[in-house]
Structure 1
Amino acid sequence: MNLPVPVAVGIWVALGLVLLLLVLTGRRRLATRTRRVVPAPPAPPEAEGALGATLLGPVEATYVSSTLSGDWLARVGAHGLGDRSAAEVTVWSGGVVVDRAGGTPLLVPAAALRDVGTAPGMAGKYVGRDGLVVLTWEVPTDGATDAVVLDTGLRTRYRADTPRLLETARSLLTPSAPPHPSTPTTKDTK
């Protein structure tokens, strides 16, 4: 069956528009669904020096996405946290700021940071062999939504920046408190 060129082009354009509509609807549903679970993240302060001294950066990176902690396929669509973008990452003594191109800057306060590690991929982005820097942090409650722990993935543009970012971000982690004296340890239990 040979269709005239204008009809064939019209069919392809209509098919493309339907697919685009499906993608946009899916993104909107993801944002709505995760907005009920994830509070709005804090914004970096406007005042110069409010986050303390600069420890590292800015480092060029790609903001991959944020997912619910422990489930690296559960992308968070609310508050623009699921949108991949170019970014500059700066580590301050008061936290990590991810300045995303085309999006609002993301602040990971030092007190909210739970872990810093690496991963081969997350939420549809696989780079292999511990290529992502993953910040595990707690988004504080905004009054309407309870606090939630997220994993935020960053891919540094230059491989040499990955260990520097890991080491500097890990320096913000507060050491865990020693076990309470009444809590049995493995030596005490026999």
Structure 2
Amino acid sequence: MTPLILLAAEKESAQVTDWAARIGWVVGLGLFVALVYWLMREGWKWRGTLQGDLPELSAAPGDPGPVRLALTGRYHGSTTAGQWLDRIVARGLGTRSRAELSLTDAGLDVVRPGADDFFVPAAALRGARLDKGIAGKVLTEGGLLVITWEHGGRLIDSGFRADHAAEHNEWVETLNDMINKTETEGAR
């Protein structure tokens, strides 16, 4: 029995890992991920350059009047109206963030901590609806409040999700009533 044990003890185990090849693959994969990230970043910057004709966003007036409705939630981005995948990134409109919306007779004030705030004058509001998606965010049917407005001759859809989704219906009704009232008063 002794010769068998000696034969087994003398054999050397094969190397389990080829460290040089493994490190090469990890470095290669890391470089590939970095390249993809860099290309995505350049694409985002290029889209912003192409949309550079969009004028500066309006700031809220000093005294906008009493608040009709208020909402806290998330701003999910803006797209060209009717084209839910054509994201607008110019002027910070592509930056997702928390948001506080206030609707007054003067218009819609969007306060975004960590991103640029903007104001949509009442005359620029075109409509509001419930939808299920906007570039970068898809929810259940009616899970997104989409407000259509005009800026620089371009119609824009902006998507919001309230902390309490039950508030969406009231916003759609109030905004559309306000827009219809403004249009009928302007037609006189």
Matched residue of 2:41: which SS? helix
Residue in structure 1 matched with residue 7 of structure 2 by the alignment: none
Over residues 2-48 of structure 1, what are the superposed CA-to-partner deviations in whole Å (9 max), with x where a residue is unaligned?
Answer: 44354343223222211210111010011111123x22221223x2x
CA contact 2:99–2:112 (8 Å) conserved in 1: yes
Give % identity.
30
1:65 equivalent in alignment to 2:77: yes
CA contact 1:62–1:87 (8 Å) conserved in 2: yes
Distance change >3 Å, CA 164–CA 9, structure 1 → 2 = same
For 1:138-177, what aligned pairs fall within 5 Å after superposition?
138-139=150-151, 141=152, 147-175=153-181, 176-177=183-184
Offset at 1:166?
A: 2.1
CA contact 2:108–2:122 (8 Å) conserved in 1: yes
CA RMSD of aligned residues (A): 2.2
Offset at 1:160?
A: 2.0
Higher helix share: 2
Which amino acid in 2 is paired with 1:165?
W
* Structure 1: 5+ residue stretches without partners: 142-146, 181-190
Over residues 125-181 of structure 1, what are the superposed CA-to-partner deviations in whole Å (9 max), with x where a residue is unaligned?
Answer: 110211111111111x4xxxxx21111111112122212322332342143449x9x
Over residues 71-103 of structure 1, what are the superposed CA-to-partner deviations in whole Å (9 max), with x where a residue is unaligned?
Answer: 111111100111221111111221111112311
Once residues 65 and 83 of structure 2 are traced to their aligned partners in structure 1, the CA distance between those partners, rounded to angstroms, is 32
1:39 equivalent in alignment to 2:85: no
Once residues 177 and 168 of structure 1 are traced to their aligned partners in structure 2, the CA distance between those partners, rounded to angstroms, is 15
1:55 equivalent in alignment to 2:68: yes
Distance change >3 Å, CA 170–CA 177, structure 1 → 2 = closer
Higher alpha-carbon deviation: 164-173 or 128-137: 164-173
Offset at 1:106?
A: 1.6
Matched residue of 1:172: which SS? helix
The alignment's TM-score, normalised by the length of structure 1, stands at 0.79
Residue in structure 1 matched with residue 32 of structure 2 by the alignment: 15
CA contact 1:95–1:172 (8 Å) conserved in 2: no
CA contact 1:67–1:150 (8 Å) conserved in 2: yes
CA contact 2:76–2:136 (8 Å) conserved in 1: no
Higher relative contact order (CA closer than 8 Å, sequence separation 6+): 1
Q: How many equivalent residue pairs?
A: 168
State the structure with more CA Rg: 2
